[in-house]
Amino acid sequence: MVFERYIKNYLQEFNRLDRNSWNYEDGCVLIGAGQLYRATGEDFYYDCIKNYIDRYVNEEGNIRGYEKEEYNIDRIPSGLVLFLLYEKTSQKKYLKAIKNLRTQLEHHPRTRSGNFWHKKIYPNQIWLDGLYMGMPFYLSYENLKGGEKGYKDILQQFNHVRSRLYDSEKKLYYHAYDESKQMFWADKKTGLSKNFWSRAMGWYVMALADCLELFPEREKECRKRLAELLVETVDGLLSYQDKESGLFYQLTELGGTKGNYLETSASLMFAYGILKGVRLGVLDEKVYRGKGEEILIGVETNMFSLKDGRLQLTGICKGAGLGPSENRYRDGSVDYYLKEEIVADEQKGVGAAMMVYGEWLLLKKEKPVMPADFPKVEIWNGRY
């Protein structure tokens, strides 16, 4: 039970932290706890979420450390757990906080094509990460209010990313696109960044899988399109999977490049999208389930270690971005991505571990495997 043991130990410490900042990194952990609560029903996970949120959200729904006028799409995803809290408690403060965040999206600046800017300080830029940061919350709000106003907008933003950031030859997505084609990291003809960063695609895969699940059954066009995109993206990624470990490199297509390394958070995000795709019936179980589980085994085998008697999750890129203008070292080059710090126990990697472990538990519950059909499952169940 390596994943479960590690996660529970991590959350016990997480409960005592207060960073005095409403941030998406902690949001990853909260979303992961929500996924585990959904999979297990254990109050431990729900209590972790409520304990955290109640330190940040007051009775008026104001969020400590949140500035709407920043127009930073990264401030949105932590709000996903507010829907769970409101559903469970009916407390108005959670609904007020949800509306607070939704107001940002109403006024958030957009590209000419209609996509949200990544941040106010990144004008005219679409980052692949931003679809995960904004779309599941946006869609959850539309579902809560019982309206369909935003459904076409959400689908349009996915479609525009596909048309602008996808490389049909390599079957991968670039990290970002500058519509103005003025940024120092952007190609002057295409507006694209230079490289394929695995975690950016990890965010995208999770956004596709989560929104596919969130779209109501009646929205057949939206569901069909996201299913197509998920299958296409997963198939493209799997051709770059490291055959020995089952994991993925920091720079997806450059496995043999000196300094490139197997990166934990992206690998886990890919596994999450694959296993959720299987559970939702979009990805063929016999073809893809083993691939998703192979990644989890690869992480357990290669990325967990003991330090001073405590489990830690290693191999996580601390962070990578592009610009702004004053940060010219964030230029999207191979050298840049491979020089960013590699750490252990960082929230983005831990949150992804929690999300995918919860998804695996849900899949196991909803679609028990038959050993005759899935020879690897016997080994997997034996380890867990």
In-domain check, residue 32? no
**67 burial type by CB count under 10 A (0-12 exposed, 13-18 middle, 19+ buried):** exposed
Query: How many residues are given for the chain?
Result: 384
pLDDT digits (tens, 9 = 90+) for 61-99: 999 999 999 999 999 999 999 999 999 999 999 999 999
Strand partners, 347: none
Is 74 annotated as catalytic?
A: no
In-domain check, residue 26? no
Domain that holds residue 274: 112-383
Q: Residue 240 is encoded by which pair of tokens?
A: 């770059």
Mean pLDDT, rounded, for 128-153: 94
Q: Residue 136 is encoded by which pair of tokens?
A: 């599941």
Instruction: Please compute Rg for the chain using Cα positions.
Output: 20
What crossing angle do the helices spanning 198-214 and 151-165 adopt, rounded to 10°? 150
In-domain check, residue 361? yes
In-domain check, residue 172? yes
Domain count across the chain: 1
pLDDT digits (tens, 9 = 90+) for 300-331: 999 999 999 899 999 999 999 999 989 899 99
CA 62/CA 331 separation, integer angstroms? 36
pLDDT of 1: 64
Q: Residue 53 is encoded by which pair of tokens?
A: 């949120």
pLDDT digits (tens, 9 = 90+) for 11-52: 999 988 888 899 999 999 999 999 999 999 999 999 999 999
In-domain check, residue 374? yes
What crossing angle do the helices spanning 2-14 and 24-40 adopt, rounded to 10°? 130
In-domain check, residue 205? yes
CA 343/CA 151 separation, integer angstroms? 38
- What's the whole-model pTM score? 0.95
DSSP string covering 132-159: HHHHHHHHHHHHHHT--TTHHHHHHHHH
Q: Residue 117 is encoded by which pair of tokens?
A: 């800017």
Mapped onto helix, strand or coil, the DSSP state of residue 63 is strand
Q: Which of 129, 167, 187, 373 is catalytic?
A: 129
In-domain check, residue 67? no
Q: Which CATH number covers residue 126?
A: 1.50.10.10
